[in-house]
Amino acid sequence: MGKQCQQQGERVRVCVGDATRMGSELIATALQRTRNNFDVSALAGNSSEIFHELQNSPPHVAVISANLEDGRLAGFKVLHQLLASNLKTPAVVLLDSDERGLVVDAFRAGAKGIFCRGSAFDALPKCIRRIYEGQIWISNAELEFLLELVTNLKPFQVQNPDRKTLLTPRERDVVRLVADGMRNQEIGDALSLGEHTVRNYLFRVFDKLGLSSRVELVLYTLSRDNSFGDQSSHDPAGKSVKALPISALSRTMASRK
């Protein structure tokens, strides 16, 4: 009890990483105004930039959005890097929703807590304080996801590291766009495929690579070379496929809204 009281009186260094400077600064300012002895800094940018900042000035607790400048799942790359580093910085992941797959993958990637943006903000300082004290922040529903994982978890392993011989050119196109954070419907629009066809491609990719989720696929591609970065390829039918840069794809998606 004495140790916990002492921790509650200490200044806690918190770094908030979000996709935009405005987003991170809004959260940082709100946290700074709470009476929790927080020293908060706001980070923004892509996953590599945010991890570099965390390396240079390690906080007591990092609050990282799953959505960063380089993609909807790029925050998981920061988690993966923190876990693999010697920083030992505990992290809270900001999610848009407590979707089962995202919650499970966040904890598997090393998160110590999950906080959904739709939750009451006054719970976030409590979450940070608990994690600073060495605890885990998790709801009952999220805990049930993890209990199911213990029973059904498939080991993260790659059956064959030579992706170029495993995957067809069209499968590599799909993988590249998944790594860019695109949803199945957006991938289908970009490649002129039906959403059901995209799902079938992903099932085959997961089976060939020994993966079980989109986040595992993103981490897999980020941890390897740029084999999926070719700007053009040919599908099995011989049709040439020109891969658009993600910035161009983003503009295309925005124009359709």
Round the average pLDDT of the chain to a whole number and report it. Answer: 80
**For the chain, how big is the Rg over CA atoms in Å?**
20
pLDDT digits (tens, 9 = 90+) for 97-128: 888 888 888 988 899 999 998 889 999 999 99
CA 205 – CA 171 distance, rounded (Å): 7
Give the pLDDT score at 225: 54
pLDDT at 82 over 70: yes
* pLDDT band at residue 8 using 50, 70 and 90 as cut-offs: low
Q: Do 15 and 53 meet the contact criterion of CB atoms below 8 Å apart? A: yes
CA 250 – CA 89 distance, rounded (Å): 33
Which residue type sits at 159? Q
* pLDDT band at residue 146 using 50, 70 and 90 as cut-offs: confident
pLDDT digits (tens, 9 = 90+) for 185-203: 999 999 999 999 999 999 9
Model confidence pTM above 0.85 = no
